[in-house]
Amino acid sequence: MPLVVREFEETDQAALRDLYVASRDAAFTWDPVGSHQASDFDQHTEGERILVAIKGTRVVGFASVWEPDSFVHNLFVHPSALRQGAGEALLAACTPYFSKAPTLKCLQANVNAQRFYQAQGWMVLREDVGPEGPYVLMTKALTMRDAASI
């Protein structure tokens, strides 16, 4: 089945809420069980452009971009769909919504995510500490092809 990335539709909301909780529970093992809620998806993506990865009829991931800052705020893939290309496809689909070099924050404890972003050409700009703990701020230099789509 081919993977398709498309814009968010209201009918995606329930599936994305569930995916958000499942993904955060699997990746953020340091958080207590039950600390991630379905309503977090709504709050954490408010006002952002949301792209959805679909495989067949199943929602397998999403990314959200805060366009004014070219900031990838969220990128989550369902644990059962990891390492099947959804994360890479979602990151690539974000490119048209960047007006400058994009950035993202990745918790330092989330080593797998940091490795993924680095494999996609992102690099650490600096380290800092936020409400969820220590994180790295990452960026990706846009290629000429990327810049042409801006």
Instruction: Output the domain CATH number for residue 31.
Output: 3.40.630.30
121: left (phi over 0), alpha (psi -120 to 50) or beta: left
Bridge partners (DSSP) listed for residue 136? 106, 127
Q: In this predicted model, what pLDDT tens digit does every residue of 47-81 receive, in sequence order?
A: 999 999 999 889 999 999 999 999 999 999 988 88
Count the domains in the chain.
1
Q: Report the predicted TM-score, pTM, of the whole model to 2 decimal places.
A: 0.87
Task: Tell me, letter by letter, the H, E, C secondary structure of the chain.
Answer: CCEEEEECCHHHHHHHHHHHHHHHHHHCCCCCCCCCCCHHHHHHHCCCEEEEEEECCEEEEEEEEEHHHCEEEEEEECHHHCCCCHHHHHHHHHHHHCCCCCEEEEECCCHHHHHHHHHCCCEEEEEEEECCEEEEEEECCCCHHHHHCC
Which residues constitute the domain of residue 14?
Answer: 3-148
Q: Percent of the chain at pLDDT above 90?
A: 64
